[in-house]
Structure 1
Amino acid sequence: MQKFIISKRKNGEYQFNLKATNGAIILTSEGYKAKASCEKGLESTKKNSEDDSKFDRKKSNNDKWYFNLKAGNGEILGSSEMYESSNGMEKGIESVKTNAPTAMIIEE
């Protein structure tokens, strides 16, 4: 089952990861100073993941593909892993669209 996992980083910030059914991390958030802010970012991720226009597709300097999911105000909610091809990136986006809206939330 797909799930969001909220965890605390070594620097004290909170973050969330969206994991697919197979356990792969498909989206990682920025760091948040407060847990409540992290939870708001997670809820915004659920909402915005249903809108294809919120996915910013990118190619890195080393020719890897990735995407950022943005909120309505343009802030980055989460970033993907690096993909070898644009097709792989598109599959990652589809996975976020499918998994994020109904993913359970787990705190570590």
Structure 2
Amino acid sequence: MATFQIFQSSGQYWYHLRADNGEIVQSGEGYTAKVSCENGIQSVKANCQPQRFQSFFESGQYGFNHVAANGEIIGRSEKYTTAQARDHGIQVVLREAPEARVDDLAQ
């Protein structure tokens, strides 16, 4: 089962979504308040529909952005070397994020 991890760095709160193999599949932006980071995770969970993912290819690498209904980016993928690996990352988020537990490492 995938896990959201909240952590603090450079005075901001961030999240990573880690697949069950430990790999990071999606990361959020930096938030000044932990509650905003938690709300970002809830938005990710609520927006797990295929049409909410924008795939891209830049500088020889594949990736995706996860967007909310208003078009705002709520998560970004790690970079992948193949489109197949990127698409697998999207499938992991779609399948696992809605029920993923949250580990608060910023306590």
Shared fold per TM-score greater than 0.5: yes
RMSD: 0.8
Runs of 4+ aligned residues of structure 1 deviating over 3 Å after TM superposition are none
1:56 aligns with 2:45: no
Structure 2 equivalent of residue 20 of structure 1: 19
Structure 2 equivalent of residue 95 of structure 1: 92
Unaligned residue ranges in structure 2 (runs of 5+)? none
1:15-35 deviations in Å (ceiling 9; x for gaps): 110011110111000101111
Report the number of matched residues: 105
Unaligned residue ranges in structure 1 (runs of 5+)? none
1:1-108 equivalent positions in 2, closer than 5 A: 1-9=1-9, 11-49=10-48, 51-60=49-58, 62-108=59-105
TM-score by length of 1: 0.94
TM-score by length of 2: 0.94
Higher strand share: 2
